[in-house]
Amino acid sequence: MDNHRTYLISIPVYSVIAGLALFSFFEYISFRLGESGDVKEIVELQIGTNALFGQRYSNEKIDYKVEGAKRAEPDILILGTSRVLPIGGQSFPANKVYNAGMSASSSQGLEGMAHILESFAEGKYPSYVVMGLDPWIFNPNSLSIRDRHKATSKIKLMVKENIGVAWSLLKGIRFLRDELRSRANRYASLMHERNGWLAFLFAERAYQGLGLNAKLLNTGFRADGSFQYPAGFQENWKDPATKDHISSLKTDYIWFAASSSVDSCSIDKLNVLLYFARQKGISVIGLLPPYSPNYDRALKSMPSRSAFYREYQDKVCASFLERGFKCYNFTDISQFPELRGYGDSFDDSMHPKTGLVRGMMEIIRKENKQLN
């Protein structure tokens, strides 16, 4: 009887030990490949080796950009999403630049920008910030704002107040579940393509970059925070016809959900962020990134989007101008004679190529002599 009881107890114990061993094995592989690791160490490795940081199985975390920005102590800080990632040191050769832009899904919108800017120690703030602001940050029907409203609904707030400990425990369990699921998927993907990365386990950790995208595709974040795309990336992309963009926009409920006005709460958050910058002596330049010409025409021609699109441009730039800052509206590049030859210079409808971005930065530099 005792032997039977011991046997039954030993099964879960050995299962836990085996699970921990397997977890440790895969985490070691992930660490060696640069897919995971302490952000401070990753930033220092990039500075020391000029290695790219390009993960394959997870998006960058905001802590990585916070650490990179603080370590760089830049003269000019770039904030925004992937639409501003081509901006690097070449855009402002007379200044030290750090691009704290991130993918839209990781950037956390205005809250993320505030978090990065507030992370600097007193006296270490950048002199200038170029702030790229996308429409969905201000769209009350976009996925990110809908999620924010859900999280702050009266019912949820009441539940949190009354069962705070239980609520925190539930959130912890859900986070653990999601994290385990994410890691299991990552491990499965690693095993599926093991022939591509086995040799890297026996090389220096930063050899050919940190992360599998950096090692295998030569793509990822540079040490200055800007992003290097793989060779030939989207070089044959052509801007679809306006009517085709309209058809796709009709089913877009994430970035360009139908709306007739901007979210007032988001404008308030922008104003608070600009006030903080003013208090710290930071000069902020607003930047509304461009869309491909036919995509811009589609947004302007759709009754369900055009009013919001126009108000987004007007109100966002007004927030900058009212506080003595400058704002550049590049949504329609045909409005700038210097950019009229860049109509095909896009990776897709939302992402300008490096050449177009440099043209935009040249316009900003010409009008802001202190940046030269």
pLDDT band at 2 (very low <50, low <70, confident <90, very high): low
State pLDDT tens for residues 269-295: 999 999 999 999 999 999 999 999 999
| Cα-to-chain-centroid distance, residue 278 | 24
φ, ψ at 207 (rounded to 5°): -60, 125
- pLDDT score of 160: 52
Tokens of 369: 């002599």
According to the model, what pLDDT value does residue 82 have?
92
User: CATH classification of 34-371 is 3.40.190.10, yes or no?
Assistant: no
Looking at every residue in the chain, the average pLDDT score rounds to 87
**Residue 60: which residues within 8 A CB-CB, separation 6 or more?**
53, 102, 103, 106, 221
Alpha carbon 249 to chain centroid, angstroms: 22
SS3 205: coil
Residue with tokens 């790229």: 132
**At 162, is the pLDDT very low, low, confident or very high (cuts 50, 70, 90)?**
low
pLDDT for 169-208, tens place per residue? 776 777 667 666 776 777 677 777 766 788 888 888 889 9
Q: At 81, phi and psi to the nearest 5?
A: -110, -165
Provide the pLDDT for residue 194: 65
Q: Can you tell me which residue has the tokens 């200038």?
A: 128
Decide if 49 contacts 55 (C-beta within 8 A): no
Question: Average pLDDT for residues 249-274, to the nearest whole number?
Answer: 92
Structure tokens at 270: 């922008």
How far are the Cα atoms of 108, 147, 150, 160, 315 from residue 168, in angstroms, in the given order? Answer: 21, 18, 17, 8, 38
CA–CA separation, 9 and 26 (whole Å) = 27
- Could you give the CA distance from residue 241 to residue 100 in angstroms, rounded to a whole number? 33
Closest by Cα among 76, 79, 148 to 113: 79
pTM of the full structure = 0.86
* pLDDT above 80 (res 299): yes
Position 147 confidence tier, pLDDT thresholds 50, 70, 90: low
Q: Write the pLDDT tens digit of every residue in 308-352.
A: 999 999 999 999 999 999 999 999 999 999 998 888 899 999 999
Residue 132, pLDDT above cutoff 70: yes
**For the packed helices 303-321 and 293-301, what is the interaxial angle rounded to 10 degrees?**
110
